[in-house]
Amino acid sequence: MNIIKGGVTSPKGFLASGVKAGIKRSGRVDLALLYSEVPAVAAAAFTTNRFQASPVKVSKAHLKANEHHAIVVNSGNANCANGKIGDRDALKMTEFAGKALLLDKNKILVASTGIIGVYLPLLKIEKVMPELVGELSATKGTGFAEAIMTTDTVKKELAVKVKIGNAIVTIGGACKGVGMIYPLMKTEKHPSTKAQGSPEQAKRAEGHATMLCFLTTDAAITKKMLSASLDEAIGDSFNMISVDGDMSTNDSCFIMANGLALNREIRAKGNDWRKFTEALKLVTGELARKLARDGEGATKFIEITVTGAKDEVSAKTVARKISTSNLLKCAVCGEDPNWGRIVAAAGASGVDFDPDKVDVYLGSLKALSNGMSVKNLDKNKARKLFMKKDVHIKVDLKSGLHKATAWTCDFSKEYVAINSEYST
């Protein structure tokens, strides 16, 4: 398995484009298209926020088709909280793309990101759709990655190659999202997937931005197995990141597989499926960390590992709770190693563990041992650890054999500045 330079057009048969439609006030590229030259199977995971955006609802409906060819995406406008008009507009986007591509609209998926509660400028989108299709190219993957950005400061894309049987399979991806980031997605083909987090967390969507991810592969794999792979991949990647603890109304992760690698079709959870899934997890994991590193106003990247949990859900719950501690994130920004905020967040997670057994590490420095503060903790050394660009925190619950890792970033004054004037 090798990471290669590239993105969504790295796998065989995928083309992409990005153009300016005039959706963003900045005048930057804001409309993107991802296209498979041959029919592809598709799977997707969407936000569990009750207030789902219109493109999420339309894509869910279109996923019922057996094959797909394209995904059309706009940035600068979330098309959320626009009622029946928003639903119509999201469907119109697929119709416009379908007309230009000579495809049925049901074979096209749609996504949006940006400000909530603003209607889409449909006439502008329709006008540039022929240009968007005309610009499709295997060299425009980076243009696609740029067109989906909102307040992101850098493009986020990645690709890997893996040998499956006698074939070389490629997986590519691009994502965006640096604010309103606390994904909790589940795949459409896994209705039994249990969402982590409280109902209160699922209602706190407000403002802007979103996490969107687009994955492509030339692997031959059934729709069912592709969905199962995606389900595993997002559980340890996108569903473990946080920038501000606010779940978007638009979070979506799509994957299309067109089979052009000509490997033996993956139809069950055997060795080939495991190899494919591990490669997909590598892509989603790397992309997830890129999102956390580029959080709005972020100056530091924070990795939180929880070990010794009684089960995987407990480990993930504690890690995510710590990752959403505003007090901890402020402390990291100020380079103040106040580890008390770590134990407070862990204790508030709702997970059952014995506080008198817990150890906490700041990097390699132990700050808490068996529930007691370390008397001779070198505070200067601890502060230096928080002065680094990458801050590592470990919590050992000593309650079992399971572990999980979450990623977040610090809170800076820049985050407040960005989010106090985003829609004005």
- Dump pLDDT digits (tens) for 368-386: 999 999 999 999 999 999 9
By DSSP bridging, strand 301-309 and strand 390-396 are parallel
Rounded distance between C-alpha atoms, residue 214 and residue 157, angstroms: 9
Rounded distance between C-alpha atoms, residue 347 and residue 396, angstroms: 13
Q: What is the pLDDT of residue 189?
A: 60
- In this prediction the pTM is 0.92
Options 3.10.20.340, 3.40.470.10, 3.30.1490.20, 1.10.1740.10; CATH for 301-419 is 3.10.20.340
210 is catalytic: yes
Mean pLDDT along residues 52-72: 97
Q: What is the pLDDT of residue 201?
A: 32
Considering the candidates 170, 210, 216, 249, report the single residue annotated as catalytic. Answer: 210
Q: Which fold has domain 2-293?
A: L-amino peptidase D-ALA esterase/amidase (3.60.70)
The CATH 3.10.20.340 portion of the chain extends over: 301-419
Mean pLDDT along residues 401-413: 96
Does the structure show a pLDDT above 60 at 207? no
Does the structure show a pLDDT above 90 at 422? no
The token duo for 369 is 């041992």
Confidence of residue 163 (pLDDT cuts 50, 70, 90): very high
Q: What is the pLDDT of residue 209?
A: 53
The CATH 3.60.70.12 portion of the chain extends over: 2-293
Does the structure show a pLDDT above 90 at 194? no
Rounded distance between C-alpha atoms, residue 388 and residue 339, angstroms: 16
Closest CA to 261 of 10, 11, 50, 63: 11
